[in-house]
């Protein structure tokens, strides 16, 4: 979906919202999941984010990319969701299982296992590092976009991203992701 198409939208129509959900729905859900580590919370948060988009009287002003704008809304929804009394309870986080058909080729199975192991390492990182690493690696956001989205200074984004990469590399080699904060 091209950025120019969404230059400025004051209020989204149901058709435009549907188009946004088709184009960005999975990314919004994935981002909500990376922030919370819970699939059920990601379902609620991504739904709430798109409801906010639909109900927004100001809409999209085109000051950032549509993806960055949607991620900012998703991020705010996730933080609000976590602040509620229900969310403050300690709830064990389980591992997300892949759904669908099992791979037929051994090479594909090994590849999937490798990818799963990488994501497990990423998901064990503290939230402040995990978020920036995901925005960089998965969504290929620029430092400026990450700074705008998180409200952090670019220097802070750079240093946290560097620490996130170092911690992920250490964890991959067998160390703890919580060492050397």
pLDDT at 7: 63
| Per-residue confidence (pLDDT) for residue 29, from 0 to 100 | 95
10-residue stretch averages of pLDDT, the chain, 181 residues long = 58 84 94 89 92 78 83 89 53 45 56 68 86 85 91 94 87 59 43
Which two three-digit tokens encode residue 88?
């403050």
Q: Which pLDDT does position 89 carry in this prediction?
A: 43
- The number of beta carbons lying within 10 Å of the beta carbon of residue 81 is 19
What is the spatial distance between Cα 137 and Cα 119, in angstroms, rounded to a whole number? 11
Quote the pLDDT of residue 63.
Answer: 79
pLDDT at 93: 41
Buried b (16+ CB within 10 A) or exposed e, 115-135: eeeeeebbbebeeebbbbbbb
Q: Is 49 left (phi over 0), alpha (psi -120 to 50) or beta?
A: alpha
Q: Which residues contact 164 (CB under 8 A, 6 or more apart)?
A: 125, 129, 130, 132, 133
Question: Which residues lie closer than 8 Å to 136 by C-beta, 6 or more apart?
Answer: 146, 161
Residue with the two structure tokens 């690696």: 137
E strand or H helix at 105: none
pTM of the model: 0.57
């Amino acid at each position: 979906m091209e950025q120019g198409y969404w230059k400025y939208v004051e209020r989204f129509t149901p058709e435009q919202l549907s188009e946004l959900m088709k184009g960005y729905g999975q990314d919004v859900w994935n981002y909500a999941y990376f922030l919370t580590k819970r699939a059920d919370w990601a379902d609620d948060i991504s739904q709430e984010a798109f409801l906010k988009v639909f109900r927004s009287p100001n809409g999209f002003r085109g000051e950032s990319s549509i993806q960055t704008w949607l991620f900012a809304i998703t991020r705010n929804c996730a933080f609000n969701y976590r602040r509620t009394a229900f969310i403050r309870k300690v709830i064990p986080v389980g591992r997300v299982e892949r759904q669908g058909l099992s791979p037929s080729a051994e090479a594909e199975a090994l590849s999937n296992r490798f990818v799963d192991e990488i994501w497990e390492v990423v998901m064990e990182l503290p939230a402040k590092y995990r978020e920036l690493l995901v925005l960089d690696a998965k969504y290929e956001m620029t430092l400026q976009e990450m700074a705008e989205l998180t409200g952090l200074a670019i220097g802070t984004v750079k240093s946290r991203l560097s620490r996130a990469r170092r911690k992920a590399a250490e964890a991959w080699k067998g160390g703890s992701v919580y060492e050397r904060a």
